Every structure is written in C-alpha cells, then in structure tokens.
C-alpha cells in the first residue's frame, strides 16, 4: 500500500455539499444537495454552466455523448441541453430518486411511485404503473428496451407496450439500490434490511447475501460484470460473479473506511475500484487481489481534511472527487496502480 500525495490535474469549488458527480465525454457535473448542479469541462475544470432544481438534488446523469444532462431531486426533475443551454424543469412535487439514459435521445426518471421515459424535449414516451412505494433506482436492460425499477417489494421490469410489469422479481423488503450485471445475467439490489438480494435474470432464481451490519445503499458491477462492490459495512465487500455466480462463495473485504460514502469502478474492467468514506480517505483498490473471504488492503490511500461525498471516473485515467465543503478535484491515476 502506498499513501499517495496526489497532485490534482485541476481543482474547482462549488458552493454546496455535493451529493453526486456525473461524467461523460468531455464534461463533469457536480450535484449540490440544495439544488444547483455545476457543469465543468472534464479536462480543465472550467465552468460550462449551472442548473438548479429548487427542491434539492439527489442524482444526475449525462446522456451518452453528453449533449444533455438530466437531474432529479425531492421535488421533481430537469433536463439541460448543451447546444444552447436550454433548461427544462418539471416540478412535479413527486420524489425523483434516480435517472438513467437508455440512448442519446431517451432517458428514464423515477417520479414518486412511477418511472417515466422521456425524450430530450421532456415529452413522456411511456411510463409505468404505480410501484408499491417510491421508486428508488432504475436500470435499462435489453439495449434500452426494458426498464428495471426497484422499490419496496422487489424489482419490476417494464416495456413500452404496457404499463404493467412484464417481469417481476419479488422479495419482501425495501430495495434501495439496483445493479445489473452488464451481460444481463444478474439483477442485484441493496436493501434496507442490510442484505444484498440477487436474482438470475433468466428464471428469477434468487439468493440473499445477509450479515451486513448496515443497509446497502450503494452497489455496482464493474464493466465486465464479474465483480459486484457494495457498502453496508465499514469494509467494502466485493463478490465474484464468475462461473455459476456467488452462491456458496465468500466475498473479499476492502478495509479503509469507517462508513462508505461513495464507490466507483474504473471503466475498462480491470477490477480497479475507487472508494471514499466519512473519515476522509479516498482509496484505490485492486479488487481481484487476495483471495475470497480475505481482507484486501488498498493499493493507494489519500487522507483528505473533509469526507469525499461523491466521486466518478472521467475516463480510465482521471478520478473526479467532491468533498463535503464543495472542493472538487480531478486526480490522475496513482502511480503504480496499473502495470
């Protein structure tokens, strides 16, 4: 393990507590809890524009190619267009917890107990029926034709031709976060009752990973779909989905944090993971090192004065971090992390 003294590629400051960072192509966006998002150039950190949702922000995502940015919050959602700076706001009063683009011209937002699929003029193409609770997370399957949404009671999948679910993956409990294996084989949720629930997409066969001390609010597959990382404990856990999947196996535990605030796989699928915690550390991991059931030490750690509350990779060589005080920095990949 090396303790890094990282010199940033650039730094910037935003006037709020960041809750999410989005990256795509040459842009970065930092969402502030109070409702403003700052859009910056990924290469320099120079400001490009801002958008504001009065009721606060929870999440945001650029369209593929970054021609648009969609953002969501406790009172609605909005859409920014890069070409002319146009901002469309939809103050629905409904809690919007997630946004996912299916294609450069089409995205889904959670809106209260429904998910809505919109075009880049904000017009609704289709929507789902009511979920048992507020929709917590979204993911696209089958090249953007099928939308999975998580809520209390499980995951429901919808397609355009009907507002009724075409498939349901049921499990009693409050599902907080959704991760789909990129090859489409597995659907995973993080749960309020401190477990990860896993379904095989094909037949709905399921298993539960229990024993976490805390709720699972963050989980993500790497680009290959082999590795699933999650919070739910001071240690990140990483499950190996190779072969027949993780049933009967043990995860690797990655220890550096008190409570995990953010995690993100490096794009490209080389099992490199970045994470941050409340204690102020930002860690880089080789998640495939060590053996299942063992504790893995970080490949590199930086201690910061304030906890990093959100991070995202801007390409494979740059990690953008945002701390509680609104300090934003773009870090190069630490020396020696890749061979």
Partner 1 sequence: MTTAASIADAETGAAEAADEAAGETQDTRVPVTVLTGFLGSGKTTLLNRILTEQHGLRIAVIENEFGEVGVDDALVLDSEEEIFEMNNGCICCTVRGDLIRILGALMRRREKFDRIVIETTGLADPAPVAQTFFMDDEISSQLRLDAIVTLVDAAHVLDHLNEVKPEGVENEAVEQIAFADKIVLNKTDLVSEDRLTEVTARIRAINTPVEVIRAQQAKVELEKILDVHAFDLDRVLEGDPAFLTETEHQHDTTVTSVGIDLPGDLDEGRLNRWLGQLLRTKGVDIFRSKGILAIAGSEQQYVFQGVHMLLEGENGRAWRDGETRRNRLVFIGRNLDRDALNADFAACLAANSPVGDRA
Q: Site residues (CB under 8 A) for partner 1?
A: 16-17, 19, 33-34, 55-56, 58, 74-75, 93-95, 97, 112-113, 133-134, 152, 171-174, 191-193, 195, 213-215, 217, 259, 309, 324, 326
Provide, rounded to whole angstroms, the least separation between the CB of residue 292 and partner 1.
26
Label the pairing between strands 59-62 and 47-52: unpaired
Tell me the Ramachandran region of residue 324: left when phi exceeds 0, alpha when psi lies from -120 to 50, beta otherwise. alpha
Which three-class secondary structure state does DSSP give residue 142? helix
Nearer of residues 115 and 299 to partner 1, judged by Cβ: 115
How far apart CA 104 and CA 223 sit, in angstroms, is 20
Provide, rounded to whole angstroms, the least separation between the CB of residue 110 and partner 1.
11
Provide, rounded to whole angstroms, the least separation between the CB of residue 70 and partner 1.
18
Nearer of residues 90 and 195 to partner 1, judged by Cβ: 195
Nearer of residues 123 and 172 to partner 1, judged by Cβ: 172
Nearer of residues 28 and 233 to partner 1, judged by Cβ: 233
How far apart CA 222 and CA 19 sit, in angstroms, is 21
CB 157 within 8 A of CB 144: no
Is the torsion defined by CA of 277, 312, 200, 165 positive or negative? positive
What does R_g of the chain's alpha carbons equal in angstroms? 19
Provide, rounded to whole angstroms, the least separation between the CB of residue 214 and partner 1.
4
Nearer of residues 16 and 240 to partner 1, judged by Cβ: 16
List, in order, residues 6 or more apart from 114 with CB less than 8 Å away: 94, 127, 128, 129, 130, 131, 135
Nearer of residues 226 and 327 to partner 1, judged by Cβ: 327
Q: Which residue has the tokens 């406790």?
A: 74
Provide, rounded to whole angstroms, the least separation between the CB of residue 194 and partner 1.
8
Provide, rounded to whole angstroms, the least separation between the CB of residue 231 and partner 1.
10
CB 98 within 8 A of CB 109: yes
For residue 226, what is the DSSP state?
S
Nearer of residues 173 and 316 to partner 1, judged by Cβ: 173
Provide, rounded to whole angstroms, the least separation between the CB of residue 2 and partner 1.
30
Label the pairing between strands 295-296 and 252-254: parallel
């Amino acid at each position: 393990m090396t303790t890094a003294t990282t010199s940033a590629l650039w730094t910037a400051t935003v006037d709020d507590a960041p809750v999410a960072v989005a990256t795509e192509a040459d842009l970065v966006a930092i969402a502030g809890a109070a409702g403003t998002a700052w859009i910056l150039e990924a290469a320099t950190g120079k400001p490009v524009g801002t958008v504001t949702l009065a009721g606060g922000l929870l999440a945001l995502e650029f369209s593929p190619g970054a021609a648009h940015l969609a953002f969501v919050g406790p009172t609605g959602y909005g859409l920014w267009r890069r070409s002319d700076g146009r901002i469309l706001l939809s103050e629905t009063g409904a809690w919007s917890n997630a946004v996912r683009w299916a294609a450069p011209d089409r995205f889904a937002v959670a809106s209260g107990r429904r998910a809505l699929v919109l075009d880049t003029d904000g017009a609704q193409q289709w929507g789902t029926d009511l979920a048992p609770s507020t929709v917590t997370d979204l993911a696209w399957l089958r090249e953007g034709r099928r939308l999975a949404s998580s809520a209390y009671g499980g995951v429901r999948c919808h397609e355009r031709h009907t507002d009724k679910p075409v498939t349901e993956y049921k499990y009693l409990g409050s599902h907080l976060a959704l991760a789909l294996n990129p090859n489409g084989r597995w659907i995973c949720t993080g749960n309020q009752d401190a477990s990860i629930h896993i379904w095989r997409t094909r037949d709905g066969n399921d298993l539960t990973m229990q024993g976490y001390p805390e709720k699972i609010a963050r989980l993500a597959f790497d680009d290959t779909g082999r590795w699933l990382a999650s919070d739910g404990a001071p240690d990140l856990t990483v499950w190996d989905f190779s072969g027949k999947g993780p049933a009967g196996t043990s995860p690797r535990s990655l220890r550096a944090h008190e409570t995990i605030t953010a995690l993100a796989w490096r794009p490209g699928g080389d099992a490199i993971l970045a994470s941050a915690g409340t204690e102020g550390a930002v860690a880089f991991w080789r998640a495939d090192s060590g053996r299942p059931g063992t504790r893995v030490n970080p490949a590199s750690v930086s201690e910061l004065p304030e906890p990093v509350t959100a991070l995202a990779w801007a390409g494979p060589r740059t990690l953008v971090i945002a701390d509680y005080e609104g300090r934003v920095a773009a870090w190069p990949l630490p020396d020696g992390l890749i061979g």
